Copies of this chain bind each other. A is one copy, B any other.
Amino acid sequence: MKLKRGFASDNNAGIHPDILSAIAGANDGHCIAYGDDPYTAQATRKFKETFGDDIDVYMMFTGTAANVLGLSAIVRPYQAVICSDIAHLNVDECGALEAVGGIKLLTVPAPDGKIVPGQLGRFLAALGDEHHSQPKAISVTETTEVGTVYTQDELLSLSEFAHTNGLFVHMDGARLANAASSLGVGLKSLTKEAGVDVLSFGGTKNGMMLGEAVLFFDRELSKDFKYIRKQGMQLFSKMRYVSAQFTAYLSEDLCLLNARHANRMAKLLASRLEAFRGIEIAHPVEANGVFAVFPEKYLDAAKKEYFFYTWDPMGPVVRLMTSWNTTEGDIDSFMAALKNA
């Protein structure tokens, strides 16, 4: 089946050939199920090489699960998680954190996708008062939902605020590789070294078939996590096939290379869009997302040929994502469609 290549989401792209090879390469003989296999041991070593030795790694299927279960390990139902009002966790998980974790979200506005410590002080007034959910974690998305990137300094200021006040820092790193690549730093720099306690590390949006990992940078926090993962319906019997993907993904900088390509394509896409009168880039293009205000005629023209998401249900902002296998030809085709308008 031949399908239209587009910009609806980075998860519309397929599997990177190295990842597909890794799956096939793991398909040899019998392996003990549920992670007690050499492929998972190898992937775990790769994670430790990348993020530091003193960590715990748990692989799972979806980013939703990585976020919900990772937070469930550190936040009890009478506690709360602070995040931006546009956080994926808040708007795109169909209430999974509330329903599965029983956890309340407290939100702050974040027009550019990022939250800053100055917004958070007011939540501390609830501490100790049984009528209010007790703030226990801050969750940030890297890269943010509007394609911007937290720098290490920005993250450090948040984690310092959090730790000073007894809160943990969780990062939804579905596109962490794009952020690291954008800033030219390593994955560790924006996570362990930025004060993050628990990380949802994504693979699916950047060339893997499927696979997300929850990383704990303080192993005390994960001591019961194997039960949480199993009860959370995310324990993969044939885990070797996710593990082998992660080994490939973390080897020879594949994840950073994929991200770099996607980021570069986003810059190109944005610059090409800016040539159209009336199209305006709505947020700085710092990673692999381009958010643009489309005048109606362009919107109509694009929609005729492409599927993509309008970001604000009441407004004209479209979200265009580039991926590890976006080509310049894909961008040319999209421009051609717009020119028909």
Contacts and interface: CB of A to CB of B under 8 A. Distances in A.
A12 B31 contact: yes
The DSSP consensus for interface residues of chain A is loop
Contacts of A95: 77-80, 102-104, 133, 231
A276 interface: no
Interface in A295-341: 307, 313-314, 323
Given A32-B12, A238-B210, A230 B20 contact: no
A9 interface: yes
B78 A122 contact: no
A168 B3 CA distance: 41
Interface residues of A, number: 83
A59 to B, nearest CB: 12
A23 interface: yes
Interface stretch (A60-68, A159-167, A180-188): A60-68
B235 A313 contact: no
A5 interface: yes
B77 A233 contact: no
B32 A8 contact: yes
A205 B93 CA distance: 29
Contacts of A204: 237-238
A78 B12 contact: no
Complex copy number for this chain: 4
A9 B210 CA distance: 23
Query: Which of A3, A95, A227, A314 has most B Cβ within 10 Å?
Result: A95
A33 interface: yes
A27 B93 CA distance: 26
A16 to B, nearest CB: 9
A33 B14 CA distance: 10
Contacts of A2: 28-29
A247 to B, nearest CB: 11
A31 B15 contact: no
Contact of A233 (B15, B33, B100): B100
Interface in A222-238: 224, 226-238
A9 B33 CA distance: 8
Given A1-B38, A4-B29, A94-B133, 20 more contacts: A2-B29, A3-B31, A9-B237, A12-B30, A14-B30, A20-B23, A23-B23, A30-B323, A62-B236, A62-B237, A64-B233, A77-B98, A78-B95, A79-B227, A94-B230, A99-B104, A100-B100, A100-B232, A121-B314, A122-B314
The list of the 8 closest CB pairs from A to B, nearest first, reads A125-B313, A78-B227, A99-B102, A95-B104, A65-B233, A95-B133, A77-B99, A11-B237
21 contacts: A3-B29, A5-B30, A15-B238, A30-B323, A34-B131, A61-B233, A64-B230, A76-B224, A78-B95, A78-B227, A94-B130, A94-B131, A95-B102, A96-B230, A98-B98, A98-B104, A99-B231, A122-B314, A134-B227, A209-B241, A210-B237
Interface of A: 1-6, 8-9, 11-15, 20, 23-24, 26-34, 37-39, 61-62, 64-65, 68-69, 76-80, 91-96, 98-100, 102-104, 121-122, 125-126, 130-134, 204-205, 209-210, 224, 226-238, 241, 307, 313-314, 323
